[in-house]
């Protein structure tokens, strides 16, 4: 295993992690921003008002994006397992 291969392997794993996490993080960011604007305009400073909608948005996003996320993760895992003989050369 060469250093270039190790760096590429780690880069691919990190890119997959970011790509799979991005929809959930994006939904949390959008809902959090909308709730923050609502709180700033109405002067309501309730902690659960910002927490509960973000959790629900991420939950619904997870239900919506789960098939895509699972397909990406399974594809990456299959590629890793099928290339194990090449990795140990």
Radius of gyration, alpha carbons of the chain: 19
Q: Rounded to 10 degrees, what is the CA torsion of 37, 42, 45, 47? A: -60
Q: What is the pTM of this model?
A: 0.78
Give the model's pLDDT for residue 49: 83
* Per-residue pLDDT at 7: 92
Instruction: Give pLDDT, residue 43.
Output: 87
* 27-43 pLDDT per residue, tens: 999 999 999 999 889 98
User: Tell me, what's the pLDDT at 32?
Assistant: 92
Q: Split the chain (89 residues) into runs of 10 and give each run's mean pLDDT.
A: 86 96 95 92 85 93 96 95 85
């Amino acid at each position: 295993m060469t250093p270039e291969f190790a760096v590429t392997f780690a880069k691919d794993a990190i890119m997959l992690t970011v790509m799979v996490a991005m929809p959930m993080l994006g939904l949390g960011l959008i809902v959090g921003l909308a709730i923050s604007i609502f709180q700033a305009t109405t002067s309501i400073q309730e902690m659960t008002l910002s927490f509960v909608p973000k959790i629900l948005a991420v939950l619904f996003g997870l239900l919506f994006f789960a098939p895509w996320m699972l397909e990406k993760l399974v594809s990456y895992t299959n590629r890793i397992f099928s290339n194990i003989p090449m990795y140990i050369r």
